[in-house]
Chain A
């Protein structure tokens, strides 16, 4: 696009420049066509400034906001829930490992998705906890820490990285992260992005 077209159409030219350009415009069909296209584009945009919509959507904005606000207030009393769920996921995978210290990555890669889904869907926390061998219990926290830290580092900013590095507990950490970010970390973990 010719810059003079832009400046002329936007009223950016001095009176002298404008007078000169208008002479050029009169003599050039190419310039006239380009100016015409520019004005057509602006006209198309103008037509789309006010668009009829289904107003029911707008009627629902405040109720949805109030609902989200309530959920957020309730959630703030259970700050560790999202991370507890992530830790349970790690524990489930420990449960289905054979007791011979096989490498986690190798083992998890070979587990069919259907098996993992079955365990995730069918095992409650109590049943799971009672089945975990005692000698594995101590490993869970450190591996869960490492996995969470890795994901948090990838997903969130330096402020939260610092919190994790300084071993602030999960309750404090979740207060820094909003629910959407916590959901994101959890979803990434159970999609085996870490594993």
Chain B
């Protein structure tokens, strides 16, 4: 987990007018923002769009951030919300799209993962995650990839721990069924 004292100093510097402090915050968290968005959306270009959206929100809203949670939690909250909104918007666009090929399949071909085997493994898991509801996907990702506790996930999502455990169980159940079908 990131050093809270360092975050506090950087946020204060940025709100005091030091633009380079914002860049340092971005450098600290950009991998986490990207990968959370990537795992939620399942492709690189969508994740890239979300990264830029999240940075814009951070830039505008950091002046209002009062450290009621850690900066880490706040950033994850923004990233999760943006990702879920993006997924929902994509579903609506695809439902009403008049294009021959859904946008997401065109966007799928661009990636920053260089190892083909890793990319295939990730794609396989991404395909399974896309088939479960965004809220269940979110808990699965935060718990397994970010190794967050239920308490931390509750701070990010605003959901009760009981609800999160239920969502996680449903997510695991569905993924296990898909894995079994694949075999």
Report A-chain residues with C-beta under 8 Å of the C-beta of B34.
58, 61
**A51 at the A/B interface (Cβ < 8 Å)?**
yes
- Beta-carbon contact of B26 and A65 below 8 Å: yes
- Beta-carbon contact of A49 and B175 below 8 Å: no
- Beta-carbon contact of A64 and B52 below 8 Å: yes
CB distance from A147 to the nearest CB of B (A): 18
**B59 at the A/B interface (Cβ < 8 Å)?**
yes
CB distance from A175 to the nearest CB of B (A): 14
- Beta-carbon contact of B114 and A52 below 8 Å: yes
CB distance from B63 to the nearest CB of A (A): 15
- Beta-carbon contact of A191 and B113 below 8 Å: no
**Please, what's the 1-or-0 string for A35-60, where 1 marks a CB less than 8 Å from any CB in chain B?**
00110011011111101111001100
Binding site for A on B (CB under 8 A): 23, 26-27, 30-31, 34, 48, 51-52, 55-56, 59, 98, 112-115, 118, 121-122, 125, 144-145, 147, 165, 169, 172-173, 175-177, 179-180
A-B contact pairs, 19 of them (CB 8 A): A1-B177, A6-B172, A37-B180, A41-B172, A41-B179, A45-B144, A45-B145, A46-B144, A47-B121, A49-B144, A54-B112, A54-B114, A61-B26, A61-B34, A62-B26, A64-B52, A65-B55, A65-B56, A191-B98
